[in-house]
Each structure stands twice: as C-alpha cells, then as structure tokens.
Amino acid sequence: MSAILENINLDVMINALQETLFMTFVSLIFAVIIGMVLGILIYLTQEDGLYPNLVVNKILNFIVNVLRAVPYIILLILIIPLTTALVGSMIGAKAALPSLILSSAPFYGRMVMIALNEVDSGTIEASKAMGASNWQIIIKVLIPEAKPALISSITVMGISLVGYTAMAGAIGAGGLGNLAYLYGMVRSNNYVMYTATILILIIVFIIQFIGDYYVRKIDKR
C-alpha cells in the first residue's frame, strides 16, 4: 500500500477523476437531449409516423448514419476547428465535449427511434380512438411506454462515453485516460496506469448498476 501511495500523486489522480466525471456526465446530458429530439423526429417523420415526411426523415437518417459511422478518434480530429471556435482551445476537458456529444447524440437518437417503434401499435390506435392528439400520444403514451428501453440506452451510452473520454484523454483532453497515458505508460509507472484503469472500471460499474436499478424499477412487465 505504501508503495502505491509513493508512486501516485493523489491530487493529480483526484483532478483526473473529476475531469473524467465532468466530460462523461456533461456530454451525457447534452447527448440525451439532442438524441431524444433526433429520435422522436425520425420516428414521427417516417412513412407510418404521426407526421410523415420522407424528405426530412431521409435527411435526419443520413446525418445520424454518417455521424455514427465515423470512429470517435477520427471525429475528434476532424472537428478540431469547430472545437477551437466553440471552446477556444483544442486541449482540456471542455475541448472534448463537442466531439463527445457529436459522437453519442446520433447513437442515442437511433436508440430512441428503435424504442419508440417497439411500442405496441394497438396502444397508439387506442389512444387515437379516445381522442388523444398526436403530441399527447408522444408525451403520455410513447415515451412512458418506451422508458425502460430509453434508460437502458442511456446506460449503454454512458459507458461508451467513459471509454471515449479515455481516448480523448490520450491526446490531451485530460481525465483518467490522459493520466494513464502520460503518467502511467510514458513514464512506465504501472501503479498510476492500473489505478486509473481501476477507477474507470468502477465508474462503468456504477453507471451500469444505476441504469439496471432504474430499468427494474420502471419496467412493470
């Protein structure tokens, strides 16, 4: 234990942990909001949707498919000019946010669309027969019925974002990934590298536990 403490700067480790949590949860919040809007719009504008519009649907699908297809590390490099314009820098935890949001929001948008499509069409037809408007169907029927799947998707996306922050950290975004690379691998300090890895795993396990708990609590099937 004493050997570990001698080889690890606790202040640096805590700061890296805070940066990873900041990048993960801030990008998660924005990705959920943007992805929810994207997913609902794709669902509504599909051929059998509540507001069918194939032109809008194809454009949104194209955007989602393109952004999902680009590997995160490449997207991170491609949008450096945008990141610099928005944040004023291409390094640091804040600089990682645009790429993290752009990579995860389309993923969540697709998951939202899939979750909404899985809602029983009979429930929707029954709501229409009772005089519910389209927006009432969206707010009071579709989203509540799809909630377990939506939360599961948030859990998966949160775990993916932890991995993305580690990749971003390796090229200057900060966080535990940056710590593991610069202080661990480059300086051949296995104590730092393994501790950073363990902390990342703990974050992943906590996200998974919280997600599973809420899915079990909400899902009445």
Residue 163 sits in a domain whose CATH number is 1.10.3720.10
Q: How far apart are CA 10 and CA 104, in angstroms?
A: 31
Per the structure, the complete domain to which residue 178 belongs is given by 2-218
pLDDT band at 8 (very low <50, low <70, confident <90, very high): low
Number of domains in the chain: 1
Please report the sign of the dihedral spanned by the C-alpha atoms of residue 29, residue 33, residue 34, residue 38.
positive
- Model pLDDT, residue 19: 92
Which residue has better confidence, 40 or 177? 40
- HEC per residue, 18-67: HHHHHHHHHHHHHHHHHHHHHHHHHHHHCCCCCCCCHHHHHHHHHHHHHH
Report how far apart the first and last C-alpha atoms of the chain are (Å, whole number).
Answer: 47
- Model pLDDT, residue 2: 54
- Model pLDDT, residue 220: 63
Average pLDDT over residues 135-160: 92
pLDDT exceeds cutoff 90 at 207: yes
- Model pLDDT, residue 206: 95
Tokens of 57: 């649907």
pLDDT band at 121 (very low <50, low <70, confident <90, very high): confident
Please report the sign of the dihedral spanned by the C-alpha atoms of residue 124, residue 130, residue 136, residue 139.
negative
As a whole number, the mean pLDDT across the chain is 88
